[in-house]
Amino acid sequence: MEERLYKKHDIEFFELFNNFYVFIANEQIAVSVKKETLEKLVKLKTAKNISLNSLKCSNDKSYSFINKLFENSLIQKHNTIKAPDFLYNSNMLSLVHTQRCNLNCRYCFAHDKSDKFDMSIETAKNAIDFFIKDFAPKNNYYSIDLTGAGEPLVNKKFIIAIVEYIKKLRDEGYNIFPAFITNGMLLDDEWGKIILENKISWAISLDGDKKHQEMIRKGSDYDKIIQNYLKLKNSTKWLHYGIRCTYSSENYAFVDIFESIYKVAFGFPITINPARTRPNDFGDFSEEKVDDLLQEYDKFCLYLLKLSLNLDLGRINSYFSGESYFRKFIGSILNKSKTIYRCSAGIQNIAINNEGNIFICTSMTGENEALLGNIHTGINLEKQNYIKKIYADNIPTCSICWARYNCAGSCMAESLYRTGKFGSVLPIKCKINKHLIKLAIFYCHQLYTKKPDILQYIQEKH
């Protein structure tokens, strides 16, 4: 019988909150072990490979446990995974129709807020036609993001014309819907009517409490935003999809952020994600602040665990129905799902600007390296194929990392801004992501042993 060898980078052993775990990457299996077992595993990992045959000869109970663990897994010698041809059942087009904004957020990546970048209605219609008929003609759901690179509601005439065009396409049989995220300052009854009539999904973006919101987003009036939000949340019913919070190095006390938002958004999705910053920009995390960030994530994980054990379904549903950065790691561990691509930018999701140029994503609009084609000439397939090759098993550093199927590398925009090319691995992000994966394993294990019903509830509902 051929001996099976376990590559060292497929297995991680770690301690967290006085719990000891083995994580097998290729299987997405996490197992709680005793401290002495973990110590023996760490010694085994110093070898070139972990061999089953070497374990069988030992009578030690820890080794017997390890042997059974590995024997019951399905890791093969050649475990490289081929990138899939598709990721999801939907495609998203971001129309970068304006960079104008009524606020001046300190970490904003749209630096020129004049109207010279405003998109014409004709260009937008052509972009949508290209998207549904040429880019993804056989898909069954299309999302049109009207957020742009600024505040979408300053471009009212444009929004009204485009959502009416989308409605016309929907009447023709296309499963297509518009959406936008707004800072909330301009929301009023008229916008509520437009949202309802055109089935626009919407959310607002906040930076937590009043202090941080008004400090980071210059020109914002927190009280007015909340007043506008609450009014439209009730009037637009199912079309409202929550509050999205951006955290940065100036605001990352996650428990406080979540609680301040939950008081406003209870019953609806809450999303907490990092700002996409350029090196040394406002809010960028330095090496010195990363450890503090991880400590705040530790607190939030324990807080989330407490909510779960206490069956606080209101807060649990609000968090898990959102798309938070930490939440995605919990989902991957809970469902044993492998993340091959970091995201679907340039593959299923694209951004189009006022000139009809196609970019990999909104945050890289205007960057030549991220230019993917034009709505009149089509997609540059060579460039898109290059993007398709940036996946977990095909990034040299990621391919030998135990976290590759839960992380899949760095954000392409951040890689470009920090290194000048896509697919580069950012050490700070690696450190953060590995820690969050371990926290996710801890969270799932604690619920599995103490409240398996709530774990099943989260898995089935979210």
Q: Identify whether 62 is part of a domain.
A: yes
The one-letter amino acid code at 163 reads: V
Is 149 part of any domain? Answer: no
Q: How far apart are CA 180 and CA 175, in angstroms?
A: 17
Q: What total of structural domains would you count in the chain?
A: 1
Tokens linked to 138 = 């056989």
C-alpha torsion sign, points 98, 100, 101, 102: negative
Q: Which helix (H) or strand (E) holds 181?
A: strand 176-182
Q: What is the pLDDT along the chain (462 residues), one digit of tens a residue?
A: 344 455 667 888 899 999 999 898 888 888 888 888 788 777 766 665 555 555 555 556 666 666 666 665 544 444 455 666 555 567 999 999 999 999 998 888 776 778 899 999 999 999 999 999 999 887 789 999 999 889 999 999 999 999 999 999 999 999 999 999 999 999 999 999 999 999 999 999 999 899 999 999 999 999 999 999 999 988 887 787 789 999 999 999 999 999 999 998 887 899 999 988 888 888 889 888 999 999 999 999 999 999 999 999 999 999 999 999 999 999 999 988 888 898 899 999 999 999 999 999 998 999 999 999 999 999 999 999 999 999 999 999 999 999 999 999 989 998 998 898 888 889 999 999 999 999 999 999 999 999 999 999 999 988
Q: How many CA atoms lie within 13 A of 155 on its CB side?
A: 31
106 domain residue, yes or no: no
In this structure, is residue 25 part of a structural domain? Answer: yes
Q: 25 lies in which domain range?
A: 1-79
- Would 408 be classed as within a structural domain? no
- 7 domain residue, yes or no: yes
CA–CA gap between residue 259 and residue 247 (Å, rounded): 14
- Kindly state whether residue 21 falls inside one of the protein's structural domains: yes
Residue 30 lies in a domain: yes
